Structure 1
Amino acid sequence: MNTDLVAKFASTLPPDDDHPYRTGPWRPQTCEWDSDDLVAVEGEIPTDLDGVYLRNTENPLHPAFKAYHPFDGDGMLHIVGFRDGKANYRNRFVRTDGFLAENEAGGPLWPGIAEPVEWAKRDHGWGARTLMKDASSTDVTVHRGVALSSFYQCGDLYRIDPYTGDTLGTQGWVPPGLGVSAHPKVDDATGELLFFNYGKDAPYLHYGVVDESNTLVHYVDVELPGPRLPHDMAFTDNYVILNDFPLFWDAEFLKHNAHIPRLHRDMPSRFAVLPRRGGPGDVMWFEAETTYVLHFTNAFEDGDEIVLDGFFQGEPEPTEGAAFGMNPKWQRIFRGLSLDGMQTRLHRWRFNLVTGQTREEQLSDSITEFGMINSGFAGRPYRYTYAATGKPGWFLFEGLVRHDLHTGAEQRFAFGDGVYGSETAMAPRVGSRGEDDGYLVTLTTDMNADASYCVVFDAARVSDGPVCKLALPERISSGTHSTWAPGSELRRWRG
């Protein structure tokens, strides 16, 4: 492995830090690396795996003013490229305006999610709350050969070179003010990028379409009763599905500019279905059982019905906190982050466009989340979801599950005690002939070996274990969202 240290940043985090999401598996990195010819410590790199795996995560360099939340950290992109049976690795901080300003100042300038916005040391900021740092640390996708990193409560989309990890600036078509929420969707069939954003001013939600030439061609209001906290969306061939869940900022606290989310248990979940180029008058609303959904896996059309799959939370506002090794002073604050705390299970909603009725059903008894699919089937009928299992009581992924939605069968793999993974992207093999004909790629943080690895599985035989395991230059922080970009869709890839 040929490795170069590209940059090292100064951290102002306390040396005796005891925060559960800035230590242990979540210990932040300060170094940026270039590594070529990654060494396979197990197995061999498949020669028909061609493209780039990208993972984004929160990686703070500076403490919060008072109450750090794990979603506040600076964005860091990890990139593993595969070609001709070889692999390389890059990691880079996303050079957002907020990241650059705080590093120049040598400390925090904007409050995090658990802090009052009035604490901001600058009179400008980002996000649905306003006066937050645009960390761009949540999601990553690829559109027209360029990676786009995004922020969970809306911000600028940052353009990233998918080969080097270098930040190329912000995406120019982003509407002023609200920006874009995490989880914009790219339709492989049309080349379109679909997105939404939200805020505290009426109509509170907006939906937009960027075409295959990177032009904003559609941007409309979606009226809501008040400020909401949507996190994800879905689409089909002809429709887009947005949401209005009953977990949102408490209206009384909001009058005093305090952003405290609360579950309104007497309210239903609502889903907005509208044509992909539809206007405000085309929205059809459907009601369903009270819940909150962080992530949807897919949606498709079935006759007169829209079928939507995602992770239903049995307890969107956990009131019980189990220890599981976490310091008691942190348990109450972070009990809502664990998958077992939220009771997340794969779920299906059916919205009948003729009758206006909703039917729903639980698809699995297993507690999983962060589901990924073969992106070539996004918006269309599909069969497989690849999801993460969580360490009880913690926001850590300790294994993965292959859900077969036709038979209900599940294949499982556990990383092992002290080993934690990332969201698992599905990479179709070159010349793929089926939905599961390809590989699963993820990054792991191994606390036992004090090391990290890129791990590759056969997507059809997850329980067989990895087909190869590649050593990375240092142990990386635990992380979340990822994507896969085939080499065929990347400019200059073969060059």
Structure 2
Amino acid sequence: MHPEVVAKYLSTLPEDDDHPYRTGPWRPQTTEWNADDLQVIDGEIPADLDGVYLRNTENPLHPAFKVYHPFDGDGMLHIVGFRDGKAFYRNRFIRTDAFQAENDAGGPLWPGIAEPVNLAQRDYGWGARTLMKDASSTDVTVHRGVALSSFYQCGDLYRVDPCTGDMLGKEDWAGDFPKDLGVSAHPKSDDRTGELLFFNYGKQAPYMHYGVVDDTNRLVHYVDVELPGPRLPHDMAFTENYVILNDFPLFWDAGLLKLNAHVPRLHRDLPSRFAILPRRGQPGEIKWFEADPTYVLHFTNAFEDGDEIVLDGFFQGSPEPADDGIDHGMSPRWQRFFRYLSLDGMQTRLHRWRFNLVTGTTREEQLSHSLTEFGMINPEYAGRDYRYTYAATGKPGWFLFDGLVRHDLHTGSEERFAFEDGVYGSETAMAPRAGGTAEEDGYLVTITTDMNADASYCLVFDAARVADGPVCKLALPERVSSGTHCTWASGAELRRWRI
């Protein structure tokens, strides 16, 4: 491996920084790299692993005005590509309008999630809250051969070449992009139809919209989804014929919102609600279903089963976690502030909802006792019946992933792999083996932050034998910040769009 420095950026973070999510495993990077022919530390790169692993995460260059939240950092896209038994790496900051403006100013211009909006140094901003920075640092998906980065409280979609990391500008959809609200994180790309399904939300009625972009990159469907008031949806799901949106009882306190203060509260007397509508349906076709109150950050999949829509995701047993009083190795101030981020704090468990489209009834069940989240599946099974979910376990009290679990939804069994102490993973993508036929015929790919070696590695696992450990371990040019959302794009799919 002969890494090449592509660019270095100036950080204005304090040298004596003690913030737990800007130091240690979350220490941000300032350097962009190209590295071809990655060094294999252990094992062998599978010859039938063909495609790119893309991971987006927060990587701050500048401090907050008062309180930094780990969702505030600038977006950075990490790319690990595989073909013919070799691998390469690229990382790039996502050059949003806000990223450029703050670097020109040499400091923060917009408040973060834990700060009041009146701190904004500009009279404009982005997303559901308004006057907030669009960091485009939450999610990444691939549509029509182009990577799209997105922000959790809505914003622009930024187009990135998934092989080189080159910025390709903002998504426009021939002038029809919803510039007032933008697009939330977790739009869904359906490779079978070529469609991109998305939602957005805000503080003005109807409070949510749903849209469809077709395989020619045209916005062909955009409808209102009326809610009782401002909400905080984070994810959606789809089946062959339907989409599933949500209205959970964790949302901004209405009284404080009148004072322009955005403080989420759990409204325990309200149910969870799910909206099911045809993929090109009109508002009048929406069917609402009620379920036990909770909050769900991420769904794994949905599919149709006779008259029922089956939806799987991570039910939070404690959406408003209390301070557990345990010393998790950070100052009490930060521990109280960040308890909403840990899997044990939120008590996240794999869960299933069944919505009967004929009777209007809901059935639900817990699928696992284990605390896991950030589940991924074989992408070829998105929207249809499936068996396996690959999820992350969490370090108690922290927003850090300390292992992998393969959930077998047919038998209820689980297969685990735990990282060494001081090693933390990312959301793990499932990469179907080129030419594979079975659901688990493929590989799991993730990036680790290894505090023991002060290094980062890309690990590849056999998806059918998670507990056996990685089949290969690849060295990256430097230790990267711990991160979250990812996707996998097959080489065949990428090459199809490049012909």
Question: How far has the Cα of 1:176 moved from its partner?
Answer: 1.7
Question: How far has the Cα of 1:378 moved from its partner?
Answer: 0.4
The residue that corresponds to 1:213 in the other structure is 216
Q: Amino acid of the residue matched to residue 307 of structure 1? A: V
The residue that corresponds to 1:88 in the other structure is 88
Question: How far has the Cα of 1:163 moved from its partner?
Answer: 1.1
The residue that corresponds to 2:431 in the other structure is 427
Judge conservation of contact 2:144–2:497 (CA < 8 Å) in 1. Answer: no
Judge conservation of contact 2:156–2:179 (CA < 8 Å) in 1. Answer: no
User: 2: distance between equivalents of 1:284 and 1:396?
Assistant: 37
Correspondence list, 1:158-173, <5 A:
158-173=158-173
Correspondence list, 1:66-215, <5 A:
66-173=66-173, 174-215=177-218
Q: Amino acid of the residue matched to residue 123 of structure 2? A: D
User: 2: distance between equivalents of 1:400 and 1:40?
Assistant: 22
Write the deviation string for residues 153-208 of structure 1: whole angstroms up to 9, x where unpaired: 00000000111112111100221210000000011211110000000000000000
Write the deviation string for residues 73-129 of structure 1: whole angstroms up to 9, x where unpaired: 000000000000000000000000000000000000000000111111111110100
Question: How far has the Cα of 1:494 moved from its partner?
Answer: 9.3
The residue that corresponds to 2:337 in the other structure is 333
User: 2: distance between equivalents of 1:217 and 1:434?
Assistant: 34
User: 2: distance between equivalents of 1:33 and 1:298?
Assistant: 34
Q: Amino acid of the residue matched to residue 291 of structure 1? A: T
The residue that corresponds to 1:245 in the other structure is 248
Question: How far has the Cα of 1:61 moved from its partner?
Answer: 0.1
Judge conservation of contact 1:402–1:411 (CA < 8 Å) in 2. Answer: yes
TM-score (norm 1): 0.99
Question: How far has the Cα of 1:324 moved from its partner?
Answer: 1.3
1:484 to 488, 493, 496: 488
Q: Tell me: CA distance 1:468–1:96, structure 2 relative to 1, closer, same or farther (3 Å).
A: same
2:418 to 379, 394, 414: 414
Question: How far has the Cα of 1:329 moved from its partner?
Answer: 1.6
Judge conservation of contact 2:145–2:497 (CA < 8 Å) in 1. Answer: no
Judge conservation of contact 2:343–2:373 (CA < 8 Å) in 1. Answer: yes
User: 1: distance between equivalents of 2:57 and 2:271?
Assistant: 32
1:231 to 231, 234, 239: 234
The residue that corresponds to 1:267 in the other structure is 270
User: 1: distance between equivalents of 2:430 and 2:362?
Assistant: 30
1:298 to 280, 295, 301: 301
Q: Amino acid of the residue matched to residue 138 of structure 1? A: T
Write the deviation string for residues 119-155 of structure 1: whole angstroms up to 9, x where unpaired: 1111111010001111000000000000000000000
User: 1: distance between equivalents of 2:438 and 2:190?
Assistant: 18
Q: Amino acid of the residue matched to residue 221 of structure 1? A: D
Q: Does residue 338 of structure 2 align to residue 315 of structure 1?
A: no
Judge conservation of contact 1:247–1:262 (CA < 8 Å) in 2. Answer: yes
Question: SS state of the match for residue 41, structure 2?
Answer: strand
Q: Amino acid of the residue matched to residue 376 of structure 2? A: M
User: 2: distance between equivalents of 1:493 and 1:171?
Assistant: 17
User: 2: distance between equivalents of 1:327 and 1:92?
Assistant: 32
User: Structure 2, unaligned stretches of length 5 or more?
Assistant: none
User: 1: distance between equivalents of 2:342 and 2:475?
Assistant: 28
Judge conservation of contact 2:54–2:80 (CA < 8 Å) in 1. Answer: yes
Q: Amino acid of the residue matched to residue 169 of structure 1? A: G
User: 2: distance between equivalents of 1:230 and 1:169?
Assistant: 26
Question: How far has the Cα of 1:451 moved from its partner?
Answer: 0.3
Q: Amino acid of the residue matched to residue 297 of structure 2? A: L
TM-score (norm 2): 0.98
User: 2: distance between equivalents of 1:175 and 1:100?
Assistant: 22
Judge conservation of contact 1:413–1:463 (CA < 8 Å) in 2. Answer: yes
User: 1: distance between equivalents of 2:342 and 2:243?
Assistant: 29
Question: SS state of the match for residue 344, structure 2?
Answer: helix
Q: Does residue 394 of structure 2 align to residue 394 of structure 1?
A: no
Question: How far has the Cα of 1:454 moved from its partner?
Answer: 0.2
Q: Amino acid of the residue matched to residue 160 of structure 1? A: V
The residue that corresponds to 1:354 in the other structure is 358
Question: How far has the Cα of 1:492 moved from its partner?
Answer: 7.6
The residue that corresponds to 1:33 in the other structure is 33
Q: Amino acid of the residue matched to residue 413 of structure 2? A: A
Q: Amino acid of the residue matched to residue 81 of structure 1? A: G
Q: Amino acid of the residue matched to residue 341 of structure 1? A: G
Q: Amino acid of the residue matched to residue 258 of structure 2? A: K
User: 1: distance between equivalents of 2:434 and 2:294?
Assistant: 40
User: 2: distance between equivalents of 1:73 and 1:6?
Assistant: 21
Question: SS state of the match for residue 284, structure 2?
Answer: helix
2:347 to 337, 343, 359: 343
Percent identity of the aligned residues? 82
User: 2: distance between equivalents of 1:485 and 1:273?
Assistant: 28
Question: How far has the Cα of 1:323 moved from its partner?
Answer: 2.1
User: 2: distance between equivalents of 1:307 and 1:107?
Assistant: 47
Write the deviation string for residues 213-234 of structure 1: whole angstroms up to 9, x where unpaired: 1110000000000000000000
Q: Amino acid of the residue matched to residue 59 of structure 1? A: N
Q: Amino acid of the residue matched to residue 465 of structure 1? A: G
Judge conservation of contact 1:120–1:132 (CA < 8 Å) in 2. Answer: yes
Write the deviation string for residues 351-397 of structure 1: whole angstroms up to 9, x where unpaired: 00011000000000000000000111000000000000000000000
Question: How far has the Cα of 1:328 moved from its partner?
Answer: 1.2
Q: Tell me: CA distance 1:80–1:238, structure 2 relative to 1, closer, same or farther (3 Å).
A: same
Question: RMSD value over aligned CA atoms?
Answer: 1.0
Judge conservation of contact 1:348–1:363 (CA < 8 Å) in 2. Answer: yes
Judge conservation of contact 1:487–1:493 (CA < 8 Å) in 2. Answer: no
User: Structure 1, unaligned stretches of length 5 or more?
Assistant: none
